[in-house]
Chains A and B, each alone.
Chain A
Amino acid sequence: MADETIFDFLHAEIINYVLGNNEMKNKDEKDEDLSLIEYIGFSTGYRIIERLTKEMPRFKDELDTMKFICTDFWSAVYKKQIDNLRTNHQGIYVLQDNAFRFLTRLSNGKQYLEAAPRYVTFTCGVIRGCLANLNILCLVTAEVQNMPSCKFHIQVQRS
């Protein structure tokens, strides 16, 4: 059983690794390419949800799944529940966390806002991976206006 600090440091090292990798490949690119962080999150989410839900009854519907992510899953991983879940009932969900675990120690306000995407991308991937393994394909993006609060937008893709 690993301590929580380990996960925090590991998360920091993932960001460090991917950014270092980018620097070697394309030096002059302006926008940071965070897709690798997202992908590492995706694989993690895809696997962990399978282990967590293997003995649980099937979810009733999409909303039920989202509620599970906001409560049980979020508390287990991010130590608190999502503060606000909103949906338009057409496949768009907004999850708001007012004190997101990876941002709480960075800043309280708008300082370092430009670095915020690095610290939320992994979680976008985790959410996408979890939902993908529960048969919901979606796009997940994050929005940070004021640290440490963060909004995750989930757009379900229907075919």
Chain B
Amino acid sequence: MSRSTTRFDTKKVNSELVTLTYGALVAQMIKDLDNTDDVSKQIERLGYNMGIRLIEDFLAKTGSGRCLDLKETADKIQTAFKMYLGVQPNVTNWSSSGDEFSFMLDSNPLTELVELPDDLKGLKYCNIICGAIRGALEMVQLDVQSWIVQDQLKGDQSTEVRVKFIRRLEDAMPAGED
């Protein structure tokens, strides 16, 4: 009897489930911490934790190898957006030195059904994405910084996630072995 038969579109339900669960969690964080900056930080950390696990899932499912340059990395992250959030962002706004770029999201499933009240305008609701990117890339030895430039929740046209390459992480020597 355990065959899954349902009247619903499972994909859609799952997507709404994530949106609503995330919303409930953020609402709880806002209750727990009285400072919006702290909430934004917590959200980023939460995304980071998810990112370090997501990369494994991503590598297992796509079987992709190491990236040779940042352009390739950006393309891979674009694929990851498609896989995990079902949206295809554009990669744009490359800096002249080629170490910074942006993802432009026309629609963001995380912010569907969400509205920010006036007293929470400082909240970085989408910080979870930044955290996830940072966490995932750290697991493939890339140290990056990521932040939100534009946010649809704050009235912008689209959501822009900026990524800046900091450095390659070297394999650390085990402690006590010089």
Known A2-B14, A77-B13; contact A44-B21, beta-carbon cutoff 8 A: yes
Residue from A5, A17, A47, A83 within 8 A of B25 (CB atoms): A17
Q: How far is the CA of A137 from the CA of B23 in the complex (A)?
A: 23
Determine if A1 and B11 form an interchain contact, defined as CB atoms under 8 angstroms apart: yes
Within 8 A of B (CB), among A5-38: 5-7, 9-11, 13-14, 16-17, 21, 36
Docked-complex contact B53 and A9, CB < 8 angstroms: yes
A43 to B24, CA, bound (A): 6
| Inter-subunit contact B13/A2 (CB<8 Å) | no
Number of residue pairs across A and B with beta carbons under 8 Å?
A: 113
B15 at the interface (CB under 8 A from A): yes
Which of chain B's residues 9-24 have a Cβ closer than 8 Å to chain A? Answer: 10-24
Residues of B contacting A121 in the complex (Cβ-Cβ under 8 angstroms): none
Q: For residue B51, which residue of chain A has the nearest CB?
A: A9
Are B57 and A5 in touch, CB under 8 angstroms?
A: yes
B97 interface contact, C-beta 8 A: no
The answer to whether B1 touches A81 (Cβ under 8 A) is yes
A63 proximal to B (CB < 8 A): no
Query: Please, how many residues of chain B have a CB less than 8 angstroms from a CB on the other chain?
Result: 40
Query: Is there a chain A Cβ closer than 8 Å to B166's Cβ?
Result: no
CB contacts (< 8 Å) of B22 on chain A: these are 10
Any chain B CB within 8 A of the CB of A114?
Answer: no
Cα–Cα distance between A144 and B12 once the two chains are bound (Å): 30
Q: Interface 1/0s, chain B 21-50, versus A by CB < 8 A? A: 111110111001000000000100010011
List chain A residues, Cβ under 8 A from B24: 40-41, 43-44, 47
Asked if A40 and B86 make an inter-chain contact with CB atoms under 8 angstroms apart, the answer reads no
- In the A-B complex, the 8 residue pairs with the smallest Cβ-Cβ separation, listed nearest first, are A1-B86, A75-B6, A43-B24, A75-B4, A76-B13, A2-B18, A76-B8, A1-B15
Binding site for A on B (CB under 8 A): 1-8, 10-25, 27-29, 32, 42, 46, 49-50, 53-54, 57, 83-86, 109
Given pairs A10-B21, A75-B8, A81-B1, 14 additional interface contacts (CB within 8 A): A2-B84, A2-B109, A3-B86, A13-B46, A13-B49, A40-B28, A44-B21, A47-B20, A47-B24, A51-B16, A76-B8, A76-B10, A76-B13, A99-B2
- A selection of 21 A-B contacts at a CB cut-off of 8 Å is A1-B109, A3-B14, A3-B84, A3-B85, A5-B57, A7-B17, A13-B49, A14-B21, A16-B49, A41-B24, A43-B24, A44-B24, A47-B20, A48-B16, A52-B8, A76-B13, A79-B4, A80-B4, A81-B4, A81-B5, A99-B2
